[in-house]
Structure 1
Amino acid sequence: MKYCYTNVKDNFKKLYFFIPISLFIAITIVFFAREIKGVAYNDLQGNMFYVQILNRSMPLIKHVAFDTEDLAESKFSLKDKCLDILGMNWKDPIKIMAKEIHYFSMLKPEGRDGSISLKEVISSFNIGESSILKNSEEDLAKDAQVKSASSKAYNPNLKKQLNASKPEVLIYHTHTSESYITPDGNTDKDSFDENRNVCAVGDELARELEKNYGISVIHDKTVHNSTYTQSYSRSRETLTQYLNKYGDFKLIIDLHRDSVNSKKSVTANLNGEDVTKIMFVMTRKNPHFDKNNAIAENMLKTSKELFPGFSREIWYYDTGTRFFNQDLSNNAILIEVGAHVNKIEEAKGSAKYIARLVAEYLNGN
């Protein structure tokens, strides 16, 4: 009896060993039998499994007989093929539905023999009207309006050769996180996202100055107001570093945005386009006030002549906070561009008009 029990036990061990192997062999035979009979293994997406096998054994075929773009979208995966054999190909959900809903299993994959195509009932890829980006007449008109406004703001006679080795203008932000309303309706007053705060306006202004007027610009986007207190102390360090490196600039702009609840008071319509108004902020008691203020008055005068209603005049403080750093240079000014109630597009739209004022001051007669 002991010998018999041992013999039976050994036979079971052998059986456990051969079951998985037998199952794997059976699946493989079924799989290749389907391929040999010419049955499409994946009718809807195009079976490239056989092609992949050939390419792995004879690489020359890949370059002679097949389009590499087709192969790129059909990488061989043993996992996917095994799941497909079991009717669980996640890339072909229609077949899974056909196994569960009898109606779908009655339809021919490609509508053969005059039958309804399965693709005509359910399509995993369908380009419809909603998939196509269309510009409405309103969008096209707006684009044309912006282009027209840009051409009217620009003066080609002020353009000169750009000399990047000697920056003429420095733009920085003491309150870097001051933000505008975004297209998706975000109205947070502060954000460190450079696409929606004053940095976006600074980028646009720098681009306008360099591209259209040949004025070399450094745009510093250092965050100085991670905590609001001591913001001017931090930005003072940044400005001092640049002054030590380059000497004085022809113009230094601390670019801000205001906090005004009335949008009408900070918005102008120039050449059919809504843009933010600007305001100069100066400190009377700083040792360079006369020279600094002369720049602000020059740009204000030009603004009134070229773009009536664009400027909100000059706002004066006695000392402000550390003179708003205007005591460090003869050419330092502070500009408020709109307010938190303005859209980011309106603030960026004002950059081309600010650039024109700067170009008139630096490049004009």
Structure 2
Amino acid sequence: MRDTIYDNTYLEGNKGNLTKLPIILCAVGGIVLGGIVFRLANGKVNIPINFEHITRKSEATIESSDNIKEFVFKLFGIDMYNPITILNTNYPYFKMFYDKNYQPYVAEKVQKELSATEKSQTKPVQQPQASIPQKPSEPAGGQLKEASSSITFEGDVEEKDQKNNPVVSSGKINITNETGFKINIKKLLNEPLKLAPDKKGPKILIYHTHTTESFLKSASELGKSNIPSRTTNNKYNVVRVGDALINNLKKYSIDVLHNTTIHDSDYNSSYVKSLNTLTSYVDKYPSLKMTIDLHRDAASEGKLRPVKKINGKNFAEIMFVIGTDAKLNNPKWRENLKLAIQVQARLNEICPGIAKPIYVSKNRYNQHLVNGSVIVEIGGDGNVIDECIRSTSYLAEALNDVIFRKK
């Protein structure tokens, strides 16, 4: 496209007509533009204006030749037989408007829209049950609000109230059933386990989806407020209890792995991260008969301290949590429940009262990879760490008796 407005070559042979320019501009421009403005202002299109008559009248008045019209267009760089020259003529004005006015306006508008979009995308997600620091640590003061249970976070966040779910019982076996699935305890208790066949390699994996869940350091902290419920100090969190369980399992010559990766720096993505860890172990060790995601429980308000006194000593209570396929595919959940029922039955025999009802959840909790996948919760955030360590001796005995003892 051309960048010039006027083509001066048209003026050279028409200098004699330049004296008529004001009359032409006034007659043609005034009448034509005035009619256009009037129409636009009133929104009407039915006002009859005979431009041909006006042109003939103007030409008669100024006694111009038939090429006056063509001269006027050429004067402004327009070829009346080539409409593209209209845009060509006005290109510099369009460019000036874009460079000086429109471009800054558009840039400002786009920036505002981008800022609004980024703000909406980075708005913090509401966490109705827990407020966890990005990097878990001992807070300087103030008690972190805990979920009612450490099992309540997987994918979409929803609150569970274990007290309002029905309890299924058979003998001394109790199950809190959050789902609508029918559970035949007696049948599962007597069926053989379908765990991985005997292969050389580790038999049990212990890991922690909520690695920073902590306990009281000593009995002196009982009843005190502002006691942290999370810590990266492995002397006082679930990692320490995992170590104790491994030591007790080794007494039965059971080969055990322990992963201590922190998966809950971002609490709501804990199960996504721990699934990656679990998958890597399952792929590497086909010998695994059981995977234990070791947690501790917590209350929505205050501290939870499920404890059983045995021979004058306090032992933290133990609860199995079994995920189902109510939300996500999990074809192994009944085999996992079968193992939990049989271990609970053995716990009831060797240490009556230490086992809490098994909790059957709508969530899956990464228990879909292998048979024998369970969550084990030992104690709560109100238990002293020593109480939880003591309980691992009974759990190790029950696991050995159910999984490895020759029947």
TM-score, with structure 2 as normaliser: 0.47
Query: Partner letter of residue 292 of structure 1?
Result: N
Identify the residue that residue 200 of structure 1 maps to in structure 2: 240
Residue 359 of structure 2 is aligned to residue 315 of structure 1: yes
Residue 346 of structure 2 is aligned to residue 302 of structure 1: yes
Aligned partner of residue 311 in structure 1, secondary structure? coil
Identify the residue that residue 59 of structure 1 maps to in structure 2: none
What is the 5 A alignment of 1:1-365?
A: 166-183=201-218, 185=221, 187-210=227-250, 212-247=251-286, 249-260=288-299, 266-285=306-325, 286-318=330-362, 320=363, 323-364=364-405, 365=407
What CA distance in whole angstroms lies between the structure 2 residues aligned with 1:328 and 1:196?
30
Alpha-carbon displacement from aligned partner over 1:137-196 (angstroms, at most 9, x marks no partner): xxxxxxxxxxxxxxxxxxxxxxxxxx9961111000000000000027383100011100
What CA distance in whole angstroms lies between the structure 2 residues aligned with 1:187 and 1:294?
37
Query: Partner letter of residue 280 of structure 1?
Result: F
Deviation at 1:331, TM superposition (A): 1.2
Distance of aligned partners of 1:253 and 1:230 in 2 relative to their CA distance in 1, 3 Å threshold: same
Query: Partner letter of residue 290 of structure 1?
Result: R
What CA distance in whole angstroms lies between the structure 2 residues aligned with 1:271 and 1:278?
18
The answer as to whether partners of 1:251 and 1:332 remain within 8 angstroms in 2 is yes
What CA distance in whole angstroms lies between the structure 2 residues aligned with 1:317 and 1:329?
18
What CA distance in whole angstroms lies between the structure 1 residues aligned with 2:319 and 2:351?
14
Deviation at 1:262, TM superposition (A): 8.0
Distance of aligned partners of 1:195 and 1:264 in 2 relative to their CA distance in 1, 3 Å threshold: closer
The structure with the larger Rg is 2
Deviation at 1:284, TM superposition (A): 2.5
What CA distance in whole angstroms lies between the structure 1 residues aligned with 2:311 and 2:253?
24
The answer as to whether partners of 1:164 and 1:216 remain within 8 angstroms in 2 is no
The answer as to whether partners of 1:180 and 1:189 remain within 8 angstroms in 2 is yes
Aligned partner of residue 327 in structure 1, secondary structure? coil
What CA distance in whole angstroms lies between the structure 2 residues aligned with 1:361 and 1:251?
12
Deviation at 1:293, TM superposition (A): 0.6
5+ long unaligned stretches in structure 1 = 1-162
What CA distance in whole angstroms lies between the structure 1 residues aligned with 2:287 and 2:202?
10
Query: Partner letter of residue 182 of structure 1?
Result: K
The answer as to whether partners of 1:174 and 1:235 remain within 8 angstroms in 2 is yes
What CA distance in whole angstroms lies between the structure 1 residues aligned with 2:227 and 2:216?
5
The answer as to whether partners of 1:176 and 1:223 remain within 8 angstroms in 2 is yes
Aligned partner of residue 337 in structure 1, secondary structure? strand
Q: Cα RMSD over matched residues?
A: 2.1
Aligned length: 199
Distance of aligned partners of 1:346 and 1:263 in 2 relative to their CA distance in 1, 3 Å threshold: farther
What CA distance in whole angstroms lies between the structure 2 residues aligned with 1:354 and 1:195?
20
Query: Partner letter of residue 176 of structure 1?
Result: T
Aligned partner of residue 268 in structure 2, secondary structure? coil
Alpha-carbon displacement from aligned partner over 1:235-266 (angstroms, at most 9, x marks no partner): 00000000111125111100000003687861
Aligned partner of residue 393 in structure 2, secondary structure? helix
The answer as to whether partners of 2:305 and 2:382 remain within 8 angstroms in 1 is no
What CA distance in whole angstroms lies between the structure 2 residues aligned with 1:172 and 1:164?
21
What CA distance in whole angstroms lies between the structure 2 residues aligned with 1:309 and 1:218?
29
Alpha-carbon displacement from aligned partner over 1:268-318 (angstroms, at most 9, x marks no partner): 112322010011111232210111111000001111111111010101112
What CA distance in whole angstroms lies between the structure 1 residues aligned with 2:199 and 2:262?
24
Distance of aligned partners of 1:264 and 1:179 in 2 relative to their CA distance in 1, 3 Å threshold: closer
What CA distance in whole angstroms lies between the structure 2 residues aligned with 1:273 and 1:355?
18
TM-score, with structure 1 as normaliser: 0.52
Deviation at 1:363, TM superposition (A): 2.2
What CA distance in whole angstroms lies between the structure 2 residues aligned with 1:335 and 1:209?
15
What CA distance in whole angstroms lies between the structure 1 residues aligned with 2:324 and 2:311?
35
Query: Partner letter of residue 265 of structure 2?
Result: S
